[in-house]
C-alpha cells in the first residue's frame, strides 16, 4: 500500500501576478517534502458551514528550494478555489494542502536524454518545474520547449524563459501564438501541428523524451503527430486538463 499523504496547513508567503488571469503563490510548508518536477499538490478550502472544495495544482518551483513550493493558478471564472486564491487570498493567509502527489508525469535531471516539453496555456506549470530544476542542477541535456498561447500577453513566465534560454545551457524556447501576434512577432502563429513538431523535435534525435501538458485537444493532437513523425508512444508522457476547473 502507498503511504497516506497527510493534509497540512501551509502559509501563503507571496503572491505574484504572471498575466492578467494567472498568479503564482509561494506556499511555506511546515512538513515540506522534496518533490519531483511534474508533481502536484491538492488544495482544500472549507467554508464555515462545512462545505469543502478541493483542486489539484501543479508545482511550478524546483525541488532545490527547501521549505516551500510555488503553484501557479489560472483564474477560472466559475472556479471555487481559483477565484478564492485570486480575489480573496493575501500573503499571511493559511490554507490546507496535501502533497507532493504523482509519479508518472515526472522528470529529473538524472534522466539525461534529450528532452522535448510541449505546453498549452497553463500547462506550462509542471514543465516549468522541470526547466527550473534542470537549471538549478546545471543540466546540459539538449532541451526544447514548445509553448502555445493565445496571445503574447498570455505567455506565462515569458521573461524568465528568455533569461534561461539566453544562458546558453542547451535550452531552446519556441513560442506559438494562436489568436493574435504582435507586429514584430518572429515565432509561430498557428496551432501546434505536425510540421511544427518536426522542426522542433528532429534536432533532438530519436532518443528524445517528451512531456506534453495542456488542454485535452492539444495534448492528443500533439501526441498523435509525434507518433506520426517517428517518436515511439513509450517516449511520450502526457497530462491533460479539460476546459473547466479552478
The CATH code of the domain that includes 225 is 3.40.50.80
The CATH code of the domain that includes 18 is 2.40.30.10
Same domain, 217 and 185: yes
Banded model confidence at residue 246, pLDDT cuts 50, 70, 90:
very low
Same domain, 85 and 122: no
pLDDT above 90: residue 180: yes
Same domain, 124 and 233: yes
Structural domain count, the chain: 2
Tens of pLDDT, residues 42-81:
999 998 899 999 999 999 999 999 999 999 999 999 999 9
pLDDT above 90: residue 2: no
More confident residue, 2 or 109: 109
Banded model confidence at residue 242, pLDDT cuts 50, 70, 90:
low
In angstroms, the CA 146 to CA 120 distance is: 9
Please report the pLDDT score of residue 169 as a whole number: 87
**Average pLDDT of every residue of the chain:** 94
pLDDT above 90: residue 177: yes
Same domain, 165 and 227: yes
In angstroms, the CA 165 to CA 114 distance is: 16
- Residue 2 falls within a domain, yes or no? no
- Residue 215 falls within a domain, yes or no? yes
- Residue 109 falls within a domain, yes or no? no
Please report the pLDDT score of residue 245 as a whole number: 39
* Among candidate residues 45, 73, 101, the one where a domain is terminated: 101
- Residue 131 falls within a domain, yes or no? yes
Same domain, 135 and 97: no
Residue 53 has which C-alpha cell?
472544495
Please report the pLDDT score of residue 3 as a whole number: 60
In angstroms, the CA 131 to CA 55 distance is: 24
Residue 196 has which C-alpha cell?
511544427
Same domain, 125 and 237: yes
Same domain, 142 and 173: yes
In angstroms, the CA 187 to CA 162 distance is: 13
Please report the pLDDT score of residue 138 as a whole number: 94
Tens of pLDDT, residues 3-30:
678 999 999 999 999 999 999 999 999 9
- Residue 1 falls within a domain, yes or no? no
Containing domain of residue 191, as a range? 115-241
Banded model confidence at residue 241, pLDDT cuts 50, 70, 90:
confident
Tens of pLDDT, residues 78-97:
999 999 999 999 999 999 99
Same domain, 177 and 59: no
- Residue carrying the nine cell digits 496555456: 121
Same domain, 119 and 234: yes
- Residue 106 falls within a domain, yes or no? no
Amino acid at each position: 500500500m502507498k503511504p497516506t499523504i497527510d493534509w497540512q496547513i501551509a502559509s501563503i508567503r507571496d503572491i505574484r501576478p504572471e498575466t492578467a488571469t494567472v498568479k503564482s503563490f509561494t506556499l511555506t510548508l511546515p512538513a515540506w517534502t522534496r518533490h519531483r518536477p511534474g508533481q502536484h499538490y491538492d488544495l482544500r478550502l472549507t467554508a464555515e458551514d462545512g462545505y469543502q472544495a478541493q483542486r489539484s495544482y501543479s508545482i511550478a518551483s524546483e525541488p532545490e528550494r527547501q521549505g516551500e513550493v510555488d503553484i501557479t493558478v489560472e483564474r477560472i471564472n466559475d472556479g471555487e478555489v481559483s477565484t478564492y486564491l485570486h480575489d480573496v487570498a493575501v500573503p499571511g493567509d493559511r490554507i490546507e494542502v496535501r502533497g507532493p502527489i504523482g509519479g508518472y508525469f515526472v522528470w529529473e535531471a538524472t534522466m539525461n536524454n534529450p528532452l522535448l516539453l510541449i505546453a498549452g496555456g497553463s500547462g506550462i506549470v509542471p514543465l516549468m518545474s522541470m526547466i527550473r530544476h534542470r537549471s538549478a542542477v546545471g543540466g546540459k541535456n539538449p532541451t526544447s520547449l514548445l509553448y502555445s498561447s493565445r496571445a503574447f500577453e498570455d505567455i506565462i513566465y515569458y521573461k524568465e524563459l528568455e533569461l534561461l534560454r539566453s544562458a546558453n545551457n542547451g535550452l531552446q524556447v519556441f513560442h506559438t501564438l494562436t489568436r493574435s501576434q504582435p507586429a514584430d512577432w518572429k515565432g509561430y502563429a498557428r496551432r501546434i501541428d505536425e510540421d511544427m513538431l518536426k522542426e522542433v523535435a528532429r534536432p533532438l534525435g530519436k532518443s528524445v523524451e517528451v512531456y506534453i501538458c495542456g488542454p485535452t485537444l492539444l495534448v492528443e493532437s500533439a501526441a498523435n503527430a509525434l507518433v506520426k513523425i517517428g517518436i515511439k508512444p513509450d517516449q511520450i508522457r502526457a497530462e491533460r486538463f479539460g476546459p473547466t476547473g479552478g
